[in-house]
């Protein structure tokens, strides 16, 4: 089984799939080998990547919290929801540790994906490093008032690594903290929910041994996945934490690093 992160791994600076990568992934699928996207993206952001690649299997979304069926465009299972009481407690602590931070939550339900932006609710002045304009703006009570698969914390005046250190100092067993962008955004998930746990679920469903999994990634939210996989591959321009756990380093996404490795066999 092949597992790959999306942004910064399959997608390079152009934020689009290259012909070489598309052709290589299609050869993997034609050979009968499952190709699984493992992303911090929510399910509604998966189809634009899955369709050009002709993926019909599973995708691990929201850093392991959601298992998504690409063919049916349906959410199969949800793991580790953050409940409103915990969300409010976290927000109270964050206000003291990161004054000026702004919050957002990602929500899903099983079944067909609802592309309505009600799934993503943000506070006023919440900043998204990938571009603002998405999500429904509401008061904090609305943002935190329903179970969520992720709590996102933005701060315009801090780097993501600095924020992650501050948040990790606050919480030990309640949540896990990671990030997939350096632009002042960290993501909090239920403790123990990672891309690795999501891929373990997929591998069990497909009858694939852990040792038979090759995984690709570039950012801290990929670390557990690369550790778990039988062979973990980091992108050349990846975060130092990812490079330190990888079994192999390939070229950057802008040079089709995933394809460079897979072309050995496909």
pLDDT at 112: 58
| Cα 47 → chain centroid | 14
Range of the domain at 8: 2-79+194-262
Mean pLDDT, 10 residues at a time, the chain of 266 residues? 97 91 97 97 93 97 96 93 94 93 88 63 86 78 94 93 90 83 90 96 98 97 97 97 98 97 97
Q: How many CB atoms lie within 10 A of CB 23?
A: 14
Residue 69, token pair as written in the block: 């069926």
**Of 161, 190, 219, which residue is a domain's last?**
190
In this structure, are residues 73 and 66 in contact, taking their beta carbons and an 8 Å threshold? no
* Residue carrying the six token digits 């321009």: 237
CA distance 222 to 217: 5
Do residues 180 and 235 share a domain?
Answer: no
CATH number at residue 41: 3.40.50.1000
Q: In this structure, how many other beta carbons lie within 10 angstroms of the beta carbon of residue 162?
A: 15
Q: Is there a contact between 145 and 132 (Cβ–Cβ < 8 Å)?
A: no
Residues 185 and 91 grouped into a single domain: yes
Q: Rounded to whole angstroms, how far apart are CA atoms 78 and 245?
A: 28
- What integer pLDDT is reported at residue 111 of this predicted model? 60
Q: Which long-range contacts (CB under 8 A, 24 or more apart) does 91-95 make?
A: 91/140, 91/144, 91/151, 93/170, 93/171, 94/153, 94/167, 94/170
State which of 150, 169, 190 marks the end of a domain: 190
Whether 88 and 63 share a structural domain = no
**pLDDT score for 129:** 72
Q: What pLDDT, on a 0 to 100 scale, did the predictor assign at position 180?
A: 84
> Are 106 and 139 contained in the same domain?
yes
Report pLDDT for 13: 86
Tokens of 202: 């997929």
| Cα–chain center distance at 19 | 23
Domains: count for the chain: 2
Same domain? 179 vs 203:
no
Looking at the fold, whether 198 and 186 belong to one and the same domain comes out as no
Residue 80: predicted pLDDT: 87
Indicate if 74 and 105 belong to the same structural domain: no
Claim to verify: residue 73 and residue 129 sit in the same structural domain: no
Residue 80, Ramachandran bin (φ over 0: left; ψ between -120 and 50: alpha; else beta) = left
Residues 48 and 118 placed together within one structural domain of the fold: no
Out of 190, 213, 237, a domain closes at 190
Residues in the chain: 266
| Sign for the pseudo-dihedral over CA of 91, 224, 251, 254 | negative
């Amino acid at each position: 089984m092949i597992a790959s992160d999306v942004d910064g791994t399959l997608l390079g600076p152009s934020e689009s799939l290259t012909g070489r990568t598309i052709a290589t992934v299609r050869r993997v699928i034609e050979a009968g080998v499952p190709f699984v996207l493992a992303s911090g993206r929510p399910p509604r952001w998966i189809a634009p990547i899955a369709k050009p690649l002709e993926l019909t299997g599973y995708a691990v979304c929201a850093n392991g919290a959601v298992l998504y069926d690409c063919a049916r465009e349906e959410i199969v299972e949800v793991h580790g929801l953050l409940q409103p009481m915990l969300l409010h407690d976290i927000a109270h602590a964050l206000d003291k540790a990161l004054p000026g931070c702004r919050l957002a939550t990602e929500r899903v339900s099983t079944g067909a994906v609802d592309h309505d932006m009600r799934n993503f609710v943000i506070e006023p002045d919440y900043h998204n490093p990938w571009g603002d304009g998405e999500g429904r703006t509401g008061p904090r009570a609305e943002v935190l008032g329903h179970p969520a698969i992720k709590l996102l914390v933005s701060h315009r005046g801090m780097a993501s690594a600095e924020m992650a250190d501050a948040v990790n100092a606050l919480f030990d067993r309640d949540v896990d903290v990671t990030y997939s962008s350096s632009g002042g955004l960290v993501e909090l998930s239920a403790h123990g929910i990672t891309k690795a746990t999501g891929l373990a679920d997929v591998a069990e469903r497909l009858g694939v041994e852990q040792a038979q999994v090759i995984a690709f990634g570039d950012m801290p939210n990929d670390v557990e996945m690369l550790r778990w996989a039988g062979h973990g591959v980091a992108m050349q321009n990846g975060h130092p934490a990812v490079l330190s756990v990888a079994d192999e380093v390939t070229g950057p996404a802008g040079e089709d690093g995933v394809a460079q490795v897979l072309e050995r066999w496909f």
